[in-house]
Amino acid sequence: MDQLIQQLINGLSVGATYALIALGYTMVYGILRLINFAHGEVYMVGAVSSYYLAEWSMGWTHSLWVSLPIVVVGSMVTCAILGFLIEFLAYRPLRDRPRLVVLISAIGVSLLLQNLAQFQAIFGPTPKRFPELIQSTPVLYNAAHTIVLTNLDILSLGLSLGLMVIMTWVVLGTKTGLALRAVSFRFDISMLMGINTGKIISFTFMFGSALAAVAGTIDAIRYDVRPLMGLMPGLKAFVAAVLGGIGSIPGAVVGGLLMGLSETLVKGYLPSAYTGYADAVAFVVLIVILLVRPTGLFGRVAPEKV
């Protein structure tokens, strides 16, 4: 029982970062019907930039309460700018082209970022440990230490939850959010209604990228920083978005949490000889959903008109 609760905590903690990345996928897909393949790399850049920001800020301050906000906000800003640039340079010129053309361009951006990060002058190919900003320490635990909630779990869950609340407010409660929903409902009509779609698209990319940056920061602190770290979480978060119903914001959150839970449960309960297959779980889930219920849990159906 204790083990199960612990697995659930770990699962939610991992799932929260998937949910943050999945939100970016789902928002962009909702508006442009584009799988932003480079989104996993934005997450990686979030991790890399928080690595450098932590190194820099710890050079002149020892206070966690000074450096942590610098790291988190700084990497969010970096990634928001990156998200804007990716959209502006690689996707905007392709606005009226077939979707596959844009997808290939997105794959190109992803490959480009991965390999630029591998340059020694930028980051280098080898994994690096995050500067000792926060040590993983148990905060809440039961007497036998069989159930432990660490400060990192709290940071992960707290940041994700807070950002999701902010995001819900932005989407449902602001004028920009209204425009965003209109654009995702009918792109061409909203343009006629006087919405500056270019601006909304840029905003979506910046917002989604900032969320991915937070996920990158959390995972950088939790694990380490690698130029190729974006690939798997990126793909898993994409699966999460599809699971929830791509284009649906609550779907991305639920999908992300489910992905995190299923992954930790598979790792925790499968015989050790099979844990190597845990990475395949995401893809099996993806293929099953696509075949059984391609619209996901919360998605809408859009049949092709003949």
Partner 1 sequence: MNVNMTPFRRLPTLPVWVINSALTAILVGLWPLGRALEQNLNPYYLQILILVGINIMLAVSLNLVNGITGQFSLGHAGFMAVGAYTAGVLLRHYQPEGGAIVPAMLGVLILGGLLAAAAGLIVGIPTLRLQGDYLAIATLGFGEIINVVIINTESVGPFYVGGSAGLHGIPIYANFFWTFGAALFCVVCVWRLAYSNKGKAFAAIREDEIAAGAMGVNTTYYKVAAFVIGAFFAGVAGGVSATWFGNLDPESFRFMRSIEIVAMVVLGGSGSITGAIVAAILLTWLPEQLRAVQEWRLVIYALVLILMMIFRPAGLLGNRELWPVPGRRKPAPPATSDPDSRQRMMAEG
Interface positions, 254-283, toward partner 1 (CB under 8 A): 274, 276-277, 279-280, 282-283
111 binds partner 1 (CB under 8 A): yes
- E strand or H helix at 141: strand 138-141
CA-CA distance, 126 to 225, in Å (whole number)? 9
293 binds partner 1 (CB under 8 A): no
Which is nearer to partner 1, 138 or 276 (by Cβ)? 276
284 binds partner 1 (CB under 8 A): yes
Taking a C-beta distance cutoff of 8 angstroms, is the pair 154, 171 a contact? no
Which is nearer to partner 1, 139 or 284 (by Cβ)? 284
Would you give the binding string for partner 1 spanning residues 181-220, x where CB under 8 A is met?
A: ----------------------------------------
35 binds partner 1 (CB under 8 A): yes
302 binds partner 1 (CB under 8 A): no
287 binds partner 1 (CB under 8 A): yes
38: its two tokens: 């480079």
Q: Between the CA of residue 215 and those of 42, 54, 202, what are the distances in Å? A: 10, 15, 20
Count of positions on this chain that bind partner 1 (CB under 8 A): 45
CA-CA distance, 175 to 267, in Å (whole number)? 44
138 binds partner 1 (CB under 8 A): no
172 binds partner 1 (CB under 8 A): no
Q: Provide the minimum distance between the beta carbon of 118 and partner 1 in the complex, in angstroms, as a whole number.
A: 6
Taking a C-beta distance cutoff of 8 angstroms, is the pair 235, 41 a contact? no
- E strand or H helix at 110: helix 99-117
Stretch that binds partner 1, among 3-11, 172-180, 211-219, 288-296 (CB under 8 A): 288-296
Please state at what angle helix 231-244 crosses helix 2-32, rounded to 10 degrees. 80
Please compute, for residue 178, the number of CA atoms within 13 A of its CA located in the half-sphere on the CB side: 6
Taking a C-beta distance cutoff of 8 angstroms, is the pair 3, 147 a contact? no
Which is nearer to partner 1, 63 or 120 (by Cβ)? 120
Kindly tell me which residue out of 4, 61, 66, 108 binds partner 1, with binding defined by CB under 8 A: 108
Which is nearer to partner 1, 143 or 306 (by Cβ)? 306
| Count of Cβ atoms closer than 10 Å to residue 169 Cβ | 11
∠ CA 160-162-168, nearest 5°, is 100
136 binds partner 1 (CB under 8 A): no
Which is nearer to partner 1, 132 or 304 (by Cβ)? 304
Residue 31: name the closest of 247, 248, 249 by CA: 247
Q: What spatial distance separates the first Cα and last Cα of the chain, rounded to whole Å?
A: 54
Residues lying near partner 1 in the complex (CB under 8 A) are found at: 34-35, 90, 93-94, 97, 99-105, 107-112, 114-116, 118-119, 125, 231, 235, 238-239, 242, 274, 276-277, 279-280, 282-284, 286-287, 290-291, 294, 304, 306
